[in-house]
Structure 1
């Protein structure tokens, strides 16, 4: 089930991009619109790590920079920690 978005989240998405791409190694994040998806880096320009912008299980894009599991299918999309720091607080 998708969480409800508040107005500030929706405004941010319409300004910066509806979806996110993140580096699995260093945690760098880029926001993008679907029209610009082809321009996303395949590897992180900061560390050279693999980037991910769609769920490997269902190909859904990620609306949250803090996603550790897919909002559509629930599949894990990355480890819950980056550089030893938890991405999401427990219960979120």
Structure 2
């Protein structure tokens, strides 16, 4: 199992707009071999930094399946308009990938 996460620092006051972008996009993840599940997670607000932390979280059968997604037409289409929402973010997303060590 491979877990792929992108962490986002969303500017305070832009949370609804950020969530609307994610709820409205067609990721086509379900078309990909090895895709298991997707979640968009909302963390705590950091008033000192003026941000709210979010993480996109996908689970794949393998790292190879995830990498195939990143090279796919579905990936290009799902991320086509990503640059048009830069004003929602306090910096670029941070990718984190994890191989399962244990699990059910």
TM-score, scaled relative to structure 1: 0.28
**Max radius of gyration: which structure?**
2
Name the structure where helix makes up a greater proportion of residues.
2
Name the one with the larger strand percent: 2
